[in-house]
Amino acid sequence: MLSIDLSGKRAFIAGVADDRGYGWAIVRALAAAGASICVGTWPPVLRIFTRSLERGKLDMSLPGGGEIEFEKIYPLDAAFDTADDVPEHVREDKRYVDLEGYTIQGVADQVQADFGERCLDIVVHSLANGPEVRNPLIETSRAGYLAAISSSAYSMVSMAQRLGPLMNNDGALVSLSYLAAERVVPGYGGGMSSAKAALESDTRLLAFEAGRKFGVRVNTISAGPLASRAASAIGTIDRLVDYYRDNAALPEVNTADDVGHAAAFLCSPLAAGITGETLHVDKGYHAMGMPAQALLKDEVE
């Protein structure tokens, strides 16, 4: 039987802070396939995340039995490449002051110290942040726009730069995008649509550059909306989910596990010939040229 087997592989998933989002679903899928799991968590929520783990408040179960186990949890703020980039007010913030090595370079250095050379097989970029996401693009400040690009798109470039040298040949880097990179999604503002467009463009170029330099495949998943804790920042997420359910090719809402399974496939040897790809996992919504409900309404009448 053909199956996904990631036994003996080590994965680093950046952007995991709870058990409700796509990042967690990817963790679960990779762990179920046999991979060892390390995660990077944003410092402001790191304490909440680790306490939730300690108190058994997170769903650690794996399909078929067993539980998720973490080799290591790293504090990671992907807005900063090196320690020199961290402003003083962040270094002195109570959520950061006791932490070290939370920049992308700092995490790369710590991963290498913990596991040695060529210690990674899979890197997942599940990071997005737009401080003005509720603002229409036309009302977005330069600072808000650049912050969205920095945290949501350039962070993948930086991770490829710094984690790529730690990856084995035939490794895989996967990120998460959204249809707003290609089409207008009202309410998804603050420069986030631009950031996702940059992420998809960078995926194609990094597929070439990281492929030639490190032997690594680079793909992104354009996922449908999910009513996760992080997505609540958009403000209209429940309406988006309902709209997708009504108008997708399959009249359903994609689940977190749908995206987790797609990520596991892209990270597996079964996807050895796939790189530079934007894979839509949205029940076919991206393929629709008009609202399905408009046609169905006419049929009923």
Decide: 220 and 174 in contact? Cβ < 8 Å. yes
CB 190 within 8 A of CB 144: yes
Helix axes 256-266, 22-32, angle to 10 degrees: 50
DSSP string, 81-124: SSGGGS-HHHHTSTTTTT----SHHHHHHHHHHHH-TT-EEEEE
Nearest to 259 by CA among 178, 167, 171, 153: 178
Residue indicated by tokens 């997005």 = 128
Residues 12 and 123: beta-carbon distance below 8 Å: yes
Q: CB neighbours of 108 closer than 8 A, spacing ≥ 6? A: 162, 163, 166
H-helix segments, the chain: 22-32, 43-54, 88-91, 104-115, 142-149, 155-163, 192-214, 237-247, 256-266, 292-300
Asked if 163 contacts 111 with a C-beta cutoff of 8 angstroms, the reply is yes
245 by Cβ neighbours in 10 Å (0-12 / 13-18 / 19+) ranks as: middle
Active site residues: 178, 188
Bridge partners of 266, per DSSP, are none
- Written as six digits, the tokens of 51 are 């306490």
